[in-house]
Amino acid sequence: MTDRWKPSATVAAIIEQNGKFLLVEEHTPEGLHLNNPAGHLDESESLVTACAREALEETMHLFTPTHLLGVYMSRFQRPANERHSVEDITYLRFAFCGTLGALQAGRSLDTGIVRTLWLSPGEIRASFERHRSPLILQCMEDYIKGQRYPLSVIHTDLSVVSLQPNVPGGKT
């Protein structure tokens, strides 16, 4: 039996204020790149909760998702090198827009995040070669054109957050 293909489920916060978007500059295996505050969905976590958590970890600001901006897919292929074989990753991104809250004093940026920065749409378009994902630009353009979906289109069953996390090789 072959392994079942599974995309990497991620969340992203699309944060705009005064015509500029909040991005993070982060270390990646391919070098220093720009990204939305984003990350992977953790086990036993709703999409909305994951987005708020990732935004806080990567920007040190509270973030309250108010709308689903869209659901996106992209594929990334990392060539083989002396440390790993070829990686072929499909990302399934749930992007949210919402309200940026207060900076949380005493926090530090997540590992790998160098800084946060506010960029205009023109600056984001002009820095495409530094984007970690093509979805940065697509999400921004969808936000600018007014695309929004109510959070009620997302349903997280209570079983996701109420059951114990999966234990490899055993029962939960």
Instruction: State the sign of the Cα–Cα–Cα–Cα dihedral 129, 135, 138, 143.
Output: negative
Distances (CA, A) of 29 to 21, 33, 35, 81, 83: 24, 10, 14, 11, 11
Low pLDDT (below 70) residues in the chain: 1, 164-172
**Which of 125, 112, 116, 17 lies closest to 59, judged by CA?**
116
pLDDT digits (tens, 9 = 90+) for 131-141: 999 999 999 99
**Which of 119, 121, 124 lies closest to 144, judged by CA?**
121
pLDDT digits (tens, 9 = 90+) for 25-37: 999 988 999 999 9
User: CATH number of 8-161: 3.30.470.20, 3.90.1330.10, 3.90.79.10, 3.30.70.1520?
Assistant: 3.90.79.10
Element (H, E) at 155: none
- For the chain, the structural domain boundaries read 8-161
Q: What is this structure's pTM? A: 0.89
What is the structure's pLDDT at 103?
Answer: 96
What is the structure's pLDDT at 172?
Answer: 43
What is the structure's pLDDT at 118?
Answer: 98
Distances (CA, A) of 153 to 23, 69, 94, 140, 147: 26, 11, 12, 21, 14
What is the structure's pLDDT at 171?
Answer: 47
What is the structure's pLDDT at 1?
Answer: 56
**Which of 52, 51, 69 lies closest to 149, judged by CA?**
69
E-strand stretches of 41-152: 61-78, 87-103, 113-119, 149-150
Distance CA 150, CA 19 (A): 22
